[in-house]
Chain A
């Protein structure tokens, strides 16, 4: 934890006034990063009746959170303002009652269009990928597949328009939403299938895919080869010259069992993978070497795809944290040392997805409900003390009334 200790805020503020501290924001973010607690007084207007399988936060404003349930329902919450006591309203919802183009099966992937939140993509187990206009909540395009698809992803670089879809038969399908072409298929994995696909953060031509066979492949979509690198868990980065690191071969596997999570770090040179063998590995994406970091066993239960969240500080890349769903808990690890910093507990069901909001410095996690985590320990304590004080009770009821009012309004809006 000492790594995430930063100077006293009073001193930092002073340094900023004198122009001596240029990374003030990042230092303050670091302070908050490893100090998350459950925001007890922040609720999301409840919507999902089934368990929530996936979530996605829009990248342009870090404001709208899409969540998809296992019954195919999709809903979008406005996550601002991030006040201490608030209920986040539903912006729109897509289900049987409100939209005839809704998904009928479990939602596998939700994607915001990276540069602009006017568009989002949904992928369901009904073998359909749909593209939606956010402002009208109207489906604008639909692709139907013959095989199940478990995961879809879009590059976050500018002008990206290609969605990669991972199919259960091992095919990697590329869909260009500009032309509507969905015929480009790469047969990269074995028949066992692919679970996951992720584009590189900084390159719209490279993608990583993780299969049920435990293999993690890097593919250049411009090249005719199926993949240019296959991660091998025995290819390790070490100073010990006695150990010969093995080069990747055809039989290389990253995990002994299927890959459940792929996540690139914001520095674009590292990749975190979680496998069904209950291990998490850190890789260097440039040479495919595995860094010797031991995170301990991570029980993944029977969740098919885990979404882990990484936070890395711009001023100091070594200050990087990963939030990993692990059963009913979210574990927080320091990425480079593997030290477990803290465990966030609050969910009653296994957690599937963690999302880190960089602007508000908070974490969203979902199981059968969505919880918000933030560095609000002291404020909540202060608030609780002030609520116990009888003088303040009137105001408490008022806040509650405000919450109720807001609920009423959001319901009205939805009926429109």
Chain B
């Protein structure tokens, strides 16, 4: 009871010891001394919870929460060891969505505060941790072999007309030639088979190799034709030559041809993977055919055709795999133009049923089976959990994906790599479980992250970033940062001080020069330009004392299309004023690494937001919305028009010639810019006084706004109405309590549209970022889909037990200061997705008597509904 843990502002952890005088006995103790020892540095800490055995949880609001162990003896000058760190995005102050070439999208958030500030790069899908890479081009196939070892230590790499063998020892790689292997032909398949033998199928022959690869035991050749495809498990081997199918059994030094048959068309792909990974044999073989695009199921060893399934596709199957997910056997077929078709397989009858199709990439997709343990070896907590032993399927294409199953549905998770030609799992002694991935640039040996999670990387800034903008031309991020002296630490240099080029910003505006204090301030605002790829600070601009940067945008002016500019809005902020009285817009030109200040313009308020609008600069200054044009001759900004009459316009959004803004307390207003007259016209506004935080367009007539109490409001503009008072008043369509304060809305979603036949359009997807680090996705539903999902939601809300017995309707009902209303117009995706996890019978029961508006019957089948919800689940 006399040792305490303390932290300060900057996350330094101290141990406070009260030394007691024990002489007086236990009844009364006198504190004789206080000692304070520095233990080390953690994240900026909000809560400390001492667990046990020197392990302490550090709960952080602005940085990653940490699990630390206190060490009795210092290591590297610190008395603590960080055991685990939990990603925390809070608070998301601003974010932007950036398209990456052919690799989906990335969301960049400005997170954290003080020394724990960071930019977070968020992507869906799975990240790759690269261990090593080999520069090899034109690889056609790759297989791992265990030669004289329990771990994979050799890689067989197939090229168009030759094969090479590499030996990996520790982190060294060397090419070897083992005499048993054929290096003159392209290898089609290679694997370890029973009795420590190796099977190599080349275009020329099938070779059974023993004695650690030195001796060729048996070779089988097809005299007439080349072998076109081949596959095996440890005891069985199939290969095809044109339209001929051969079946072999592998024994100790024996390769026996058991059966063969002739098919009407050439064989494109085949597979004999045992459905149960523990078994060595399978009684089924799947074959994909050319010309008559179909898959056939054969019974082994008799080669009887059990089932013929036409693929109803114009392109041929590229690879076919039998695999068991959650004890349900599947046959997965990839087609040459990208999509994947999968069926459930009846192992007894050999019949395929329940066809589903998902499109992944646009190029031929190759499927490879991997054990899940290869993928996430570090999931230490659940290593004994059989679920981690599951197999997964790796689809190599221009949009590589991992196919796994969760609650008996297949989950497709994209891998964040550009293009993968082929891959194999490689369990090496040195790297642990890993994968070899072949791209068009070479070969990567690496480990991949956990499946189906947002992939977050963080860039420590050391000072909070307030706003972010992306400049496409220069591939750079522009961030506005604020350095505060009280959060100073010795370990982290703020990003603005790391910049290669440092500029001080001055002003010629008299009003500003008059009021800024000359002395050095403990708060310094900067504009920092970061490189998109290296994340290095290229340029930083230090603003004036007391000047704070509030908004930024990248703009190309209509009067000067030659180059794009960076506009930054700032305000001079004194604590004793109600609102900032003076501010300015600074215009920079940034080209090939050089930043030049072009002009500045005085403002009489705080520029809360700015945007490029029809080649002009749109700024929300205090209570007005103003439009500026740039005159390239005089290098100055000229105010064209303004719209007045609100309190403080916080955010502004544009769509075509419409301008949407939200006011501090007067909800949202829609303006139209009349190009002929050069003026703003008020189109419609929400009459309710609403303390808003952010707003966004959904489409021309639908808008969303986030409220201070953690509520969302969607509004609709009735532009077709004949009555003027209906036309210029926004109708509230939906009200919903989100429980999160939203700082920012951005259009876009992290997943690019996958399925061609998907019924859901992701055009209206809007991401939202909240104070608590919350990232949400909003999607506009069609009326019929809304009716269906809303009635499902009502049924689910009654069935699914809620957390803490808080009724779903009560929790989602709109509740703000002085106003409460029932929730409407919003469907809760989290609740809807729980439908997928329910047992089939319950799923059926829930939708028996669905009623929509006006008590109309809604007819839906479980299959349709599951398909819709799966599609919805796939976009996030």
Contact = CB atoms under 8 A, between A and B. Distances in A.
A379 B647 contact: yes
Interface in A1-36: 5-11, 13-14, 16-19, 24-26, 28, 31
A82 interface: yes
A81 B623 contact: no
Contacts of B606: 9-10
Contacts of B222: none
24 contacts: A6-B578, A7-B575, A9-B579, A10-B548, A10-B571, A10-B580, A11-B575, A13-B608, A13-B650, A14-B466, A16-B693, A17-B91, A17-B743, A18-B93, A18-B113, A18-B464, A26-B817, A28-B665, A31-B578, A84-B644, A84-B646, A360-B689, A379-B646, A383-B645
B666 interface: yes
- Judged by DSSP, the binding face of B is loop
A400 interface: no
Nearest to B741: A19
Contacts of B608: 13
Interface of B: 61-62, 90-91, 93, 113, 464, 466, 548, 550, 571, 573-580, 606, 608, 623-624, 642, 644-648, 650, 664-666, 677, 679, 685, 687-689, 691, 693, 708, 723-725, 729, 741, 743, 771-772, 817-819
A8 B574 contact: yes
A81 B644 contact: no
Contacts of A178: none
Contacts of A31: 578
A36 to B, nearest CB: 14
Contact of A8 (B577, B642, B729): B577
A28 B645 contact: no
B579 A10 contact: yes
A358 interface: yes
B645 A358 contact: no
A359 B650 CA distance: 19
A359 B578 contact: no
A409 B689 contact: no
A395 interface: yes
A64 to B, nearest CB: 12
Contact of B645 (A7, A24, A83): A83
B685 A84 contact: no
Nearest to A362: B689
A358 B644 contact: no
Contacts of B687: 80-81
B679 A395 contact: yes
A82 B576 CA distance: 28
A62 B818 contact: yes
Most A CB contacts (10 A, CB to CB) among B548, B575, B623, B818 go to B818
Contacts of A382: 623-624, 644
Interface of A: 5-11, 13-14, 16-19, 24-26, 28, 31, 61-62, 80-85, 314, 358-361, 378-379, 382-383, 386, 394-395, 405-406, 409
Nearest to B94: A17
Nearest to A361: B665
A301 B90 CA distance: 59
Contact of B685 (A7, A81, A394): A81
A156 to B, nearest CB: 13
A401 B412 CA distance: 59
B648 to A, nearest CB: 7
A359 B685 contact: no
Contact of A9 (B548, B648, B685): B648
Nearest to A26: B817
A321 B364 CA distance: 73
A109 B90 CA distance: 52
A394 B322 CA distance: 75
Contacts of B689: 80, 82, 359-361
Contacts of B91: 17-19
Nearest to A84: B645
A379 B644 contact: yes
Contacts of A82: 666, 689
B93 A17 contact: yes
Contacts of B646: 84, 379
Nearest to B664: A28
B685 to A, nearest CB: 6
A351 to B, nearest CB: 24
Given A10-B573, A17-B91, A84-B646, 14 more contacts: A10-B550, A16-B741, A16-B771, A17-B466, A17-B743, A19-B61, A62-B818, A83-B666, A83-B685, A84-B645, A360-B689, A394-B677, A409-B723, A409-B724
A9 B466 CA distance: 16
A359 B623 contact: no
Nearest to B90: A19
Contacts of B818: 62, 358-359
Contacts of B61: 19
Given A9-B579, A13-B650, A19-B772, A359 B819 contact: yes
A265 B179 CA distance: 97
Contacts of A24: 691, 708
Given A10-B573, A19-B61, A379-B623, A406 B645 contact: no
A9 B645 contact: no
Contacts of A5: 576
Contact of B771 (A8, A17, A314, A383): A17
Contacts of B550: 10
A14 B623 CA distance: 17
Contacts of A405: 724
Q: Top 3 A-B pairs ranked by shortest CB distance?
A: A19-B771, A84-B645, A81-B687
B416 to A, nearest CB: 29
Given A359-B689, A359-B819, A379-B644, A81 B666 contact: yes
A14 B772 CA distance: 15
A237 to B, nearest CB: 31
Contacts of A358: 818
Contacts of A13: 608, 650
A8 B466 CA distance: 17
Contacts of A81: 666, 685, 687, 729
Contact of A11 (B113, B466, B573, B817): B573
Interface centre among A5, A17, A26, A378 (most CB of B within 10 A): A17
A383 B464 CA distance: 36
A8 B571 CA distance: 12
Contacts of B548: 10
A61 B642 CA distance: 32
A10 B583 CA distance: 12
Contacts of A8: 573-580
B527 to A, nearest CB: 17
Among A11, A25, A409: residue with most chain B CB under 10 A = A25
Contacts of B817: 25-26, 314, 359
Contacts of A83: 645, 666, 685
B623 A378 contact: yes
A383 B644 contact: yes
A298 B650 CA distance: 42
A287 B230 CA distance: 95
Contacts of B666: 81-83
B685 A386 contact: no
A358 B817 CA distance: 9
A11 B523 CA distance: 13
B499 to A, nearest CB: 23
A41 to B, nearest CB: 9
Nearest to A405: B724
Nearest to B707: A25
A280 to B, nearest CB: 27
A25 B691 contact: yes
Contacts of A26: 817
Contacts of B691: 24-25, 28
Nearest to B579: A9
A24 B708 CA distance: 8
A13 B620 CA distance: 15
A406 B664 contact: no
B644 A386 contact: yes
B817 to A, nearest CB: 5
